[in-house]
Amino acid sequence: MPTRRFKPTSPGRRHMIGSTYEEITKGKPEKSLTQALKKSGGRNHYGRITSFNKGGGNKRRYRIIDFKRQKDSIQATVTAIEYDPNRTCRIALLEYADGEKRYILAAKNLNVGMTVMSGEGADILPGHCLELRNIPLGTLVHNIEFQPGKGGQMVRSAGTAAQVMAKEGNYVTLRLPSGEMRMVHYTCRATVGEVGNAEHENEQLGKAGKARGLGRRPHVRGVVKSPRDHPHGGGEAKSPVGRRKGPVDRWGNKSLGERTRKNKRTNRFIVRSRHNA
């Protein structure tokens, strides 16, 4: 899945690097597996902006992805690799032996014509889905569940993978892409292999217009605002943040790298923090 560097025919093209899309085998999505995707512009049900710097963007439909992979012991054939505008990785269209079609995240080296399966009888091959207790140590996995049956929530971005490091009692220790070592219940499911489209990290938008197409509006730094609009604002000419308690966001919450995690309930599952990796 290589990238291509564009010729500098304009200032916007000069630094633009995009995907070649040569792994894509189907243009339009499976209509039965899509649904409308309404844009909020960062506004809540009162019409007030609660998530800033969002708006516009290209119109798109949401692809319904099977994150649970609970259709056990039935072989499925990969019929297409498709582009998904809602995520960084590609998606694979599966057609099961009983005729049902579903989308999954396309693993690295998963190609059209290959067969995948989920459940105890699945092989340790890219795209197959098993419970963590049935996956050997050292195996790379993605689309990992936090809670059994809830569906994969961890390690879903392009090019990412976690590694099975240890098994002890009812828990399996995983090394996540951030370097964090975390314990997950052994009945949680994960998909074998790493997520495809690893070259995504090399892409460069090249111009502001592509960011607007993704729904990203311009972001203004706090230090260039007035004191009434941001705690970092004010002062003559260029001024540092200059706060005794460190940098904050516009509401006074810690920001710019300050740790704000307060979920004590799950602290016991973190063997090693990503900050100490």
Average pLDDT over residues 220-229: 94
Buried b (16+ CB within 10 A) or exposed e, 83-97: bbeebbbbbbbbbee
pLDDT-based confidence at residue 256 (cuts at 50, 70, 90)? confident
Mean pLDDT of the residues in the chain: 95
What does the block give as tokens for 36? 């409308």
Q: How far is CA 100 from CA 74, 95, 147, in A?
A: 11, 6, 26
pLDDT-based confidence at residue 258 (cuts at 50, 70, 90)? confident
For position 224, what pLDDT does the model report?
A: 95
What does the block give as tokens for 149? 């049956």
CB 119 within 8 A of CB 130: yes
pLDDT-based confidence at residue 259 (cuts at 50, 70, 90)? confident
Is residue 25 over pLDDT 70? yes
Q: Alpha-carbon distance 229 to 261, whole Å?
A: 26
Average pLDDT over residues 52-79: 96
pLDDT-based confidence at residue 193 (cuts at 50, 70, 90)? very high
Average pLDDT over residues 147-172: 97
Average pLDDT over residues 202-206: 96
Q: How far is CA 249 from CA 36, 258, 263, in A?
A: 33, 11, 21
For position 9, what pLDDT does the model report?
A: 96
Residue 81 DSSP code: E
Domain boundaries 3-201, CATH class:
mainly beta
Average pLDDT over residues 222-226: 94
Question: Tokens 């699945």 sit at which residue?
Answer: 122
For position 123, what pLDDT does the model report?
A: 95
Nearest 10 degrees: Cα torsion 161, 167, 173, 176: -10
Q: Which residues contact 68 (CB under 8 A, 6 or more apart)?
A: 149, 150, 151, 152, 189
Q: Which residues contact 264 (CB under 8 A, 6 or more apart)?
A: none
Is residue 277 over pLDDT 80? no
pLDDT-based confidence at residue 1 (cuts at 50, 70, 90)? low
Is residue 20 over pLDDT 90? yes
For position 124, what pLDDT does the model report?
A: 96
Question: Tokens 């049935």 sit at which residue?
Answer: 134
Least confident interval from 17-26, 118-127, 243-252? 243-252
86-95 pLDDT, tens per residue? Answer: 999 999 999 9
For position 244, what pLDDT does the model report?
A: 84
98-113 pLDDT, tens per residue? Answer: 999 999 999 999 999 9
